Amino acid sequence: MQTRTGDRPPVSDLVELTVLNQEHGLPLEIRPKPGLTTAGPEAFLHLWRTERELLDTQLYRYGALLFRGFEISDQSAFQAVIAQLKERLLDYVDGNSPRTRVGGGVYTSTEYPPEYFISMHNELSYSAQWPARLVFCCVGEPDQGGQTPLVDSRSLLRNLPQEIVNDFRRKGVRYIRNLHGGKGFGPSWQATFESTDRKFVEDYARTSGMEAQWNLDGSLSLSSVRPTTARHPVTEEEVWFNQVDQFHPSTHPESVYKSLIALYRGREDKLPQYATFADATPIPLEYLETIRNVTRNQLILFNWRRGDLLMIDNMLTAHGRMPFSGPRRILVAMTAQ
- In the DSSP assignment, the letter for residue 210 is -
310 and 225 in a single domain? The answer is no
192 and 105 in a single domain? The answer is no
pLDDT range class, residue 70, cuts 50, 70, 90: very high
For β-strands 220-226 and 173-179, DSSP reports them as antiparallel
287 and 211 in a single domain? The answer is yes
Question: Domain residues for 113?
Answer: 11-153+302-335
227 in a domain, yes or no? yes
77 in a domain, yes or no? yes
254-258, Cβ contacts within 8 angstroms, sequence gap of 24 or more: none
d(CA 330, CA 107): 9
The verdict on pTM exceeding 0.75 is: yes
Answer whether residue 264 shows pLDDT above 80.
yes
pLDDT for the residue 229: 97
The answer to whether 151 and 120 have CB atoms below 8 angstroms apart is yes
DSSP letter string over 227-247? Answer: -SEEE-TTT--EEE---HHHH
CATH number of residue 126's parent domain: 3.60.130.10
235 and 331 in a single domain? The answer is no
Q: How many domains does the chain have?
A: 2
Considering Cα of 121, then 127, then 131, then 134, what sign does the dihedral take? negative
**For the chain, what is the largest distance between any 2 Cα atoms, rounded to a whole number of angstroms?**
69
pLDDT in tens, 121-130: 999 999 999 9
230 in a domain, yes or no? yes
Expressed in percent and rounded to 5, the helix, strand and coil fractions of the chain are 30, 25, 45
174 and 242 in a single domain? The answer is yes
Sheet holding 211-214, edge to edge: 211-214, 220-226, 173-179, 273-277
pLDDT range class, residue 170, cuts 50, 70, 90: very high
For β-strands 28-32 and 64-67, DSSP reports them as parallel
Residues 6+ apart with CB under 8 A from 138: 304, 305, 306, 307, 308, 309, 329, 330
Considering Cα of 128, then 100, then 216, then 174, what sign does the dihedral take? positive
163 in a domain, yes or no? yes
pLDDT in tens, 174-191: 999 999 998 888 889 999
Q: What SS3 class is residue 71?
A: coil
Type of residue at 322: M
pLDDT for the residue 325: 95
200 and 227 in a single domain? The answer is yes
- With residue 155 as reference, give the H or E element that holds it: helix 153-159
